[in-house]
Structure formats: C-alpha cells, structure tokens
Amino acid sequence: MTRKNKSVDPAAVRGRNRAARWLTELFQPPVVVTLQLLISSVIEPGFPGTLGYGALAALFVCVLPLFVLLALVRLGKVSDHHISNRHQRAPVLIMALASVIAGLVVLETVGSPRSVVVMVLALVAGIVVLAAVSPFWKISGHAALEKPAAQKQP
C-alpha cells in the first residue's frame, strides 16, 4: 500500500487561520452577549422603546468590563483580551461580576423589563460558573476550542 505525500499549502493554512481569528473575534462573548441583551427586550410591550434597556444592560455587562479588560492588557496585568492564562481569569471575572451586579441595581432602579433582568441574571450564573471552574480547568467563554500543545503544528 502506497502512502501519498500530502503537501500542505501555506497560503491555505494562513487563510484558514485568518478566518478562524476573525470568527473568534466576531463571536467573542461581549459581542454575542450584547446582541442577546438587545434581543431580550424584543418580546416586551413597547418595543422598540425597550431596546434602551438592553443597551443599558450591555453597558454594564459587556462594554465596561471589556474596557477595563483592555486597560489591564495595555498595563501588562493580563496577557490578552481572551485571558488565555487561566490564572489571570478569576480577578477579571470578579470585576465583571461586580459590574454586572451594579448593572442589575441600575436596571431595577429604572424599571427595566423582566426579560432583560432575567437575561442578566442568567449571565450572572454563567460568570459564577466560569469563575468557579477557571482556577482548576482552562474553561472557555467561547464556543471555540484550542488544540492541546502536542497537537499544534509548528
């Protein structure tokens, strides 16, 4: 039985890697969650006027934590905006949780629709799970997975 020599096209590999990076950025949690928060207000009476509540929630849940995270990356306190180093995740997740809880207080104060509040509460549960698991296991907030180092190509 003869084995065919499969050559790898470097341009094709670069193209796939570029596409993977774009998809990773496009579907990172702050982007997806912002869309979910905006959509959560669609079922409420008074839509599209309820979109502002979803946007307010997104400010506390996504925008503010992302700005703080990017500042931490710039200061060299965190390796990258995906927080690849799992030992750096707990403090960032605690900061995000504090922002989300502050957002919940604001949303309750302004009489936000229940669908938005329920969505934020579900996100609180997700953040708590990520924070609890991260010190022991490199869990990802993304749908993407990283190959183990032994399987990565040079």
Q: Which pLDDT does position 144 carry in this prediction? A: 29
Q: Which pLDDT does position 140 carry in this prediction? A: 62
Residue 78: left (phi > 0), alpha (psi -120 to 50), or beta? beta
Q: Which pLDDT does position 6 carry in this prediction? A: 64
Q: Which pLDDT does position 44 carry in this prediction? A: 84
Cα 31 versus chain centre, distance: 7
Cα 5 to Cα 2, 8, 152, 153, 154, distances in angstroms: 9, 10, 20, 17, 18
Q: Which pLDDT does position 68 carry in this prediction? A: 93
Q: Which pLDDT does position 72 carry in this prediction? A: 92
Rounded percentage of the chain residues whose pLDDT exceeds 90 = 33
Q: Which residues of the chain have pLDDT under 50?
A: 1, 142-154
